[in-house]
Amino acid sequence: MSFPEGTKMTTMHSNGRKKCHYTFPDESEMVEEFDMQTDVLKVRKRRTKTVLGALGEWVYEVGEAPARVTIENDTLRANSSQPQFSRNDRPHAFEWRVRNLTYPKSTYSVQVEEEARQIVVRTSNKKYFKRITVDDMERAKLPLDPAALSWTHENSTLIILYKKPPAILQLEKDGKLARANAKEEKGKAAGPDGDVDCKQQ
């Protein structure tokens, strides 16, 4: 991934993951978490400031937000019977999973809409519809190739794969080098949602 000039990055290790915190020139933030053994991206989340200058909620691009605990110590989770959408990448492909889709495989249509630059999921029974923007491809201004798309359905889960093109693999290689050279913060405590308070450079 390429970043605008003036982006500040710090890294640290925690719970078997390398966590990278980025602060962009517009004061928006991003956190990425990579598996220490495989270097596979497990979490990418972003947040921007509201019009009043407060920090907004984290929006997850990769991975899933942790369950919230209420004041009464009740755990808030999404309805377990509803379709659950998440992205969890592989080294050479972007991967999305939609759990709790119990319809037969023949029900689904998964296609690239080249003009819209999106992957579109439909069901013939009109029970599920989803447009997927591949953020990495958008940032790199790369078109989507229908030949790179594949999908399957098993165990009530729709699994969608999009093979990463060479340009994305090179950006990820460059990002790995940047992370290796970034300053690592020592002794930082994790915040209430597992974030690390990373000092800006």
Position 138, amino acid:
E
Return d(Cα 93, Cα 159) in angstroms, integer: 12
Q: What is the pLDDT along the chain (201 residues), one digit of tens a residue?
A: 667 788 888 899 888 899 999 998 888 999 999 998 888 899 999 999 888 878 889 999 999 888 765 556 555 555 568 999 999 999 999 999 999 999 999 999 999 999 999 999 999 999 999 999 999 999 999 999 999 999 999 999 999 999 999 999 999 998 888 888 877 776 444 443 444 444 333
Q: How long, in residues, is the chain?
A: 201
Return d(Cα 32, Cα 169) in angstroms, integer: 17
For domain 8-181, give the fold.
Immunoglobulin-like (2.60.40)
φ/ψ (deg, to 5) at 180: -65, -30
Domain borders along the chain are 8-181
Q: Confirm whether pTM is higher than 0.75.
A: yes
φ/ψ (deg, to 5) at 55: -75, 135
